[in-house]
Amino acid sequence: MKKRIVLTGGPGGGKTTAIDLLRREFSKQIVVVPESATILFGGGIKRNESPHLIKAHQQAIFNLQKHLEHIQRTEHPNRLMLCDRGSLDGLAYWPDEPSAFFDCLKTDLHTELTQYDAVIFFETAAKSGQSIHSNNPVRNESDKQAILLDDKLQAIWSQHPNFNLVKSSESFIQKVMFGIETIKKVMDSYKA
């Protein structure tokens, strides 16, 4: 199978909830790559608004993402890989031109997009007027910031040829269930 799917979207989109449910339901068929930013910022590194430090954070997140994907692929070569965010997410946080992001990381948009077989984008709940605040202490964006980040991320990831949008909904349960159904359809398409 050896397929790689990135689940991404604005803060508070429901992707982590969907991943937790999928991990329970399909534990023998999938392997999950955890979110690199949560590992970094949850591990004692503080966020900082200095452009220099934002760039350093995004470099660390990008490299950690790449290594985590490699580790999971090596340990589970025959499972479908679900990535909680992907290598291009840092571009939405980058405080400079996109070309500087790619130059710094010695890559390009095409190379990063082709690393993934599909993209499932969970639109932030803030777009339907819902609050994004949760128990995640690493998540510190306001609802307005979440919408801006969602727009940036969607502009980046929608360039993937297999882009799947899970729109925000007033019902979080319906949204997550639609997201899970979308993920299952993508998974099923790789079984054939």
28-37, 130-139, 146-155: least confidently modelled range? 130-139
Q: Which amino acid is at 95?
A: P
Phi-psi map region of 14: left, alpha, beta (phi>0 left; psi -120 to 50 alpha)? left
Which CATH entry fits the domain spanning 4-191: 3.30.2320.50, 3.40.50.720, 3.40.50.300, 3.30.930.10?
A: 3.40.50.300
* 82-117 per-position pLDDT tens digit: 999 999 999 999 999 999 999 999 999 999 999 999
Residue 140's pLDDT is what? 66
Instruction: Locate the domains of the chain by residue range.
Output: 4-191
Q: What percent of the chain has pLDDT over 70?
A: 92
Q: Are 127 and 10 in contact (CB under 8 A)?
A: yes
Residue 132's pLDDT is what? 66
Residue 191's pLDDT is what? 64
Residue 131's pLDDT is what? 67
Residue 125's pLDDT is what? 80
Average pLDDT score over residue span 147-164: 95
CA dihedral defined by 106, 160, 15, 56, rounded to 10 degrees? 20
Q: Are 139 and 12 in contact (CB under 8 A)?
A: yes
* 41-76 per-position pLDDT tens digit: 988 888 888 999 999 999 999 999 999 999 999 999
Q: Are 13 and 124 in contact (CB under 8 A)?
A: yes
List the structure tokens of 105.
């990381």
Strands in the chain per DSSP E: 4-8, 30-33, 80-84, 118-122, 163-166
Q: Are 154 and 123 in contact (CB under 8 A)?
A: yes
Q: Answer yes or no: pTM beyond 0.85.
A: yes
Whether pLDDT at 121 is above 90: yes
- Quote the mean pLDDT of the chain: 87
Which H helix or E strand runs over 150?
Answer: helix 143-157
Please tell me which residue, 150 or 14, carries the higher pLDDT value. Answer: 150
Reduced to 3 states (helix: H, G, I; strand: E, B; else coil), residue 33 is strand
- Residue 66 burial by Cβ neighbours in a 10 Å radius (0-12, 13-18, 19+): middle
CA distance 181 to 192: 17
Strands in 15-161 per DSSP E: 30-33, 80-84, 118-122
Average pLDDT score over residue span 137-156: 84
**Which residue carries 């499932």 as its tokens?**
120
